Amino acid sequence: MDCHALTFRQLPHQPKLFVEYLDHFEKVKSFYFYPPTMPAVTRSARKLDYPGERRRELTSILRKQNITLGAGAETLGNLERLEKSAVAIVSGQQVALFSGPAYSVYKALTAVEIAEELTRGGIPAVPVFWMATEDHDLDEVRRATWFDQGKLVRFELPLIAESGRPVGRIPLGAQIESLVEEAAEMLANQGSDLLAQYLVESYRPEETYGGAFGKLFARLFAQHGLILMDPLDADLHKVAAPLYQHALAERDALNEKLLQRGEHLDRAGFDAQVKVTSRSTLLFHLADGVRQVVTASAGKFQAGEKTWTRDELVHMTHTEPQNFSPNALFRPVVQDYLLPTAAYIGGPAEISYFAQSEVVYRQLLGRMPVVLPRAGFTLVDAKANKLLRRYGLTVEDVWAGSQGLRHKMERQSVASTLGKNFDRNQKQIAKMLAQLGRQIEKLDPTLKGTVERARKRIEFHIDKLRRRVGRAQDQKVGLILAHEQYLQSLLDPHKGLQERELCLLPFLARWGASGLSELQKHSTGKKIGHHCVIQLH
C-alpha cells in the first residue's frame, strides 16, 4: 500500500490555529501544556498522578460497558492493564449512523497505534474511545454517506421530535431495518459478508444510536483492544460529581479566565471555537430527558424555566449527578479527570478547542494531556488512480475545485497525435511571434506593449481552441463528465475532505480484512501532522 504524505497545511479548510500548532508551536505554546510530539507524550505519562481508588471505580464501570457491547479478549486484557497502572491514549467522536465519517475510525486507529508505541517504549498504555453519547444534536448523527459504484449513497434516519435529548439514548426505530438491509447488501456485494454481519448485529430497531455505534466499534476493533466509554453511564457521573462541584464553586473565576483567553486568542489572530459570555457556565442540566444549558446571572443559576442558588445547584450534583453533563470546553477536562490520560487524539477543530479549555484544565486539574492530531487519509481506488494518471492530475487538483479540474481534464483529453501537433505548433508560433516582436520593436519601440498584448491574445485563443477540440472529442461519449464526477464523489465529496464526508465501511469491504491494520501502520507517531493519500490496489 503506497502512501503519499501531505502536511495539513496543504489540505483545504484547515483552522489557522491548528496549522500553527503543528508547524510553529512556539507561536501558540501559551495555549497548551505540551507540544504535539511523542517525547511529550512520554513526559506526560511519566508525570501523571492518578488516584488508585478512581482507577478501580473507572475500570469496573468500563468493564461492564464493554462486556455489554460485546468486547473481545484483547479489550478485556487492556482493561486489566488499565486497572493495574496503564495510562490512557484517548480519542472520541459522536455516535453517528453506521460508524459515521471515516475519521471516527481514524481517530480510534491513531489511539491504538500511539498506545502500542508507548507500551513498546516501556510505558504501559491502552487506547480508549469516548463515545459522545451526551451530545444532543441528532441531525449530525442520523445520516451517513457511502461511496458505491462511483456514486454517493445517502442513508438517513428521520429527524424525530427529540430536541435536546442526548442522542445516545434515542432508539433507532423501525426505519433502521430497510437501511441496514440495503447497506448490508452493498457490503456483501463489495466482498465482505463479515462487515455486513457486523452491521446487522449492531443496528437493530430497539437499539439506541449509542448502543449500535458501540457494538459496531466493538466488533471492528476486537483485535485491537480498543476500550469504549459511554459517558451517559450514571456511575461515571457519580465519579465525576466532585469536578462538577468544583466547576460550580469556581464558576466566576473560570468564566473570567475564559473571557480573557478569548481576547488573547483574538489578539493573536485566532478565532475562539466556543463563544463565552458573561452568563456562561461549563454545565448542562438534564430535565425530563432534555439537555439544557446552565447560565448564571446575579448570583442565580438557570436552565430552562428552573432557577437555583449556587448552593442548591452544588447540592444537586451530589444527589443527582447523572442529570449534569459538561459543555464543549469542559468535556475534555471531565474526560481526563475520569481517565489517566497521557495524550488525546483530536481533529483540527478539537485541537483548536483545547486552546480555550487549557484555562479550565489549569484551574481544575492542574494538568493537561498532550493533544495529538489524528491520522488523516484520502483513499484512492484503482479506477480513480487510473483517471488521475490519464489526465495528469493529483488529488490536490481535485480539491482545488470543479472549474480548474474540468479545465485540466479538457486540455489532456485532446487525442495524443493532435496534442503533439498542438504542442509543436504552439512552440513554432511562440518562436515566430518572438522573432516578429523583436523586429517590430526595432522599427518602433512604442509598439512593444501592442506586440505583447497581441501575443497573449493569440496564445489564449490557441489554448481555448485546444480545450474546445478536447471537449468536442469527449462529448461524443460523455467521458469527461463521468470521470470528473467519479473523482469528485470519491476525493472531494460535497466539496469536503473524503474522511469528513464518507463512511469507511465500503472501503474496508473492498480492501479486505487487512484494511484496518494497514491504516494503523500509517497512524504512527512518526507521521504526526501528516495526511496520507493512500492508493488502494
Dump the DSSP string for 468-481: HHHHHHHHTTTHHH
d(CA 63, CA 75): 9
Q: Which residue has the cell 433507532?
A: 172
74 and 191 share a domain?
Answer: yes
pLDDT per residue rounded down to tens, the chain (537 residues): 678 999 999 999 999 999 999 999 999 999 999 999 999 999 999 999 999 999 999 999 999 999 999 999 999 999 999 999 999 999 999 999 999 999 999 999 999 999 999 999 999 999 999 999 999 899 999 999 999 999 999 999 998 875 679 999 999 999 999 999 999 999 999 999 999 999 999 999 999 999 999 999 999 999 999 999 999 999 999 999 999 999 999 999 999 999 999 999 999 999 999 999 999 999 999 988 889 999 999 889 999 999 999 999 999 999 999 999 999 999 999 999 999 999 999 999 999 999 999 999 999 999 999 999 999 999 999 999 999 999 999 999 999 998 889 888 888 876 555 666 777 777 788 788 788 878 888 887 887 788 788 888 888 888 888 788 777 766 655 788 899 999 999 999 999 999 999 999 999 999 987 899 999 999 998 888 899 999 987
Alpha helices in 70-204 (DSSP H): 73-84, 102-120, 176-189, 193-202
Question: Does 342 lie in the same domain as 199?
Answer: yes
DSSP state of 138: G
> What per-residue confidence (pLDDT) applies to 1?
67
- 181 with 81, same domain: the answer is yes
How many CA atoms, within 13 angstroms, populate the side-chain half-sphere of residue 172?
27
Q: How many Å from the N-terminal Cα to the C-terminal Cα in the chain?
A: 7
* 92 and 211 assigned to the same domain: yes
Record the cell numbers describing residue 475, joined without a space: 462529448
360 and 406 belong to one structural domain = no
Edge-to-edge, what's the strand order for the sheet holding 290-297?
A: 306-309, 300-303, 290-297, 280-287, 324-326
Which backbone phi and psi does 88 adopt, to 5 degrees?
-110, 140
- Which structural domain range is residue 483 located in? 402-491
Q: What are the residues whose beta carbons fall under 8 Å from the beta carbon of 140, sequence distance 6 or more?
A: 94, 96
CA 129 to chain centre: 14
Compute the half-sphere exposure of residue 194: CA atoms within 13 Å on the CB side of its CA.
9
Identify whether the C-beta of residue 245 lies closer than 8 Å to the C-beta of residue 314: yes
* Same domain? 487 vs 374: no
Residue with cell 459543555: 327
In a domain, 316, yes or no: no
Residue 330's pLDDT is what? 98
The answer to whether the beta carbons of residues 123 and 42 sit under 8 Å apart is yes
Q: Verify that 51 and 140 share a domain, yes or no.
A: yes
What's the longest Cα–Cα distance across the chain? Answer: 97
| 54 part of a folded domain | yes
Is 290 contained in some domain?
Answer: no
Kindly list the strands in the beta sheet with 2-7, ordered across the sheet, starting from the edge strand earlier in the chain. 2-7, 530-535, 376-380
Residues 156 and 206 in one domain: yes
What residues pair up with 88 in beta bridges, in sequence order? 126, 341
| Count: domains in the chain | 2
Domain contains 472 = yes
In a domain, 310, yes or no: no
The reply to whether 77 and 224 lie within a common domain is yes
Helices (H), 224-347: 234-249, 251-267, 310-319, 331-338
Cβ contacts of residue 485 below 8 Å, gap of 6+?
A: 150
Asked if the structure places residue 299 within a domain, the reply is no
Per the domain annotation, does 470 fall within a domain?
Answer: yes
Assigned C-alpha cell, 180: 441496514
Grid coordinates representing 163 are: 430536541
Asked if 488 and 405 touch (Cβ cutoff 8 Å), the reply is yes
Q: Are 103 and 231 members of one domain?
A: yes
Q: Provide the pLDDT for residue 477.
A: 52
User: What value, to the nearest 5°, has the Cα angle with vertex 93 and ends 15 and 40?
Assistant: 65
Q: What is the pLDDT of residue 476?
A: 55
HSE-up (13 A, CA, CB side) for residue 189: 8
467 and 520 within one domain: no
On whether residue 92 sits in a domain, the answer given is: yes
On whether both 473 and 525 belong to a single domain, the answer is no
- Of 21, 82, 17, 23, nearest to 56 by C-alpha is 82
CA distance 474 to 166: 52
Q: Would the CA dihedral through 356, 360, 361, 366 be positive or negative?
A: positive
Return the exposure string of 72-105: e unless at least 16 CB atoms fall within 10 Å of the residue's CB, then b.
Answer: beebeebbebbbeebbbbbbbbbbbbbbbbbbbb
Q: Give the per-residue pLDDT at 111.
A: 98
pTM above 0.85, yes or no: yes
